[in-house]
């Protein structure tokens, strides 16, 4: 498992959230991710929706992943809500040619909240990702009581406003699994 601490975009300061960490790794034929939000007592968690596909999840607390195959401009975006709703899109280039991405299985999204911490676990089949190896961007939008939204990413680059689609956000690498890893 790899761990990365996300940074909040400088244009939007959090009210109570103190840190966001994300861990990820390949387990058999699945990519598993865990976002951990510290200082989450005031974080707004959308109501339970079940494993349904839904647009606009980023308008409130939402966890996101972007995957860009090595050597390509095309990429996929995945949105995971603590409500257990999800979305998946393909892009032909930076914010161009958006289309719904076909996936074989709804991601498994498991939120937990206790003592000022919000944890959101996600498992998604490798078959539903673009070809690996790929550049990876893990991000989130956090909405807090008091009409505050913050935007967390591995890297924000020089952008004056948050933009998770920009190349600087793709700050990690997701390697292709070894054949033995897939069989386990």
Residue-wise pLDDT for 48-82, tens only, equals 999 999 999 999 999 999 999 999 999 999 999 99
Write out pLDDT tens, residues 70-114. Answer: 999 999 999 999 999 999 999 998 889 999 999 999 999 999 999
Full-model pTM = 0.94
Condensed to tens digits (0 to 9), the pLDDT of residues 118-155 reads: 999 999 999 999 999 999 999 999 999 988 999 999 99
pLDDT-derived band of residue 179, with 50, 70 and 90 as boundaries? low
Burial class (CB in 10 A: 0-12, 13-18, 19+), 130: middle
Extents of the domains making up the chain: 2-178
Which CATH class, in words, describes the domain spanning 2-178? mainly beta
């Amino acid at each position: 498992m790899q761990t990365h601490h996300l940074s909040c975009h400088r244009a939007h300061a959090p009210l109570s959230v103190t840190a966001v960490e994300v861990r990820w790794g390949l387990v058999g034929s699945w990519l598993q991710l865990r976002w951990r939000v510290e200082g989450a007592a005031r974080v707004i968690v959308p109501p339970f929706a079940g494993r349904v596909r839904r647009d606009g999840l980023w308008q409130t607390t939402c966890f996101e992943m972007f995957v860009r195959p090595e050597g390509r401009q095309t990429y996929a975006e995945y949105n995971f809500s603590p409500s257990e709703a999800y979305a998946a899109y393909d892009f032909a280039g930076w914010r161009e040619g958006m289309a719904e991405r076909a996936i074989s299985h709804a991601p498994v999204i498991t939120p937990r909240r206790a003592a000022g911490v919000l944890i959101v676990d996600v498992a998604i089949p490798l078959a539903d990702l673009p070809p690996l190896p790929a550049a990876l961007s893990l991000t989130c939008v956090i909405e807090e009581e008091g009409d505050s939204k913050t935007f967390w990413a591995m890297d924000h680059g020089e952008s004056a406003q948050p933009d998770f689609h920009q190349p600087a956000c793709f700050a990690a690498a997701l390697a292709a699994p070894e054949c033995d890893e897939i069989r386990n």
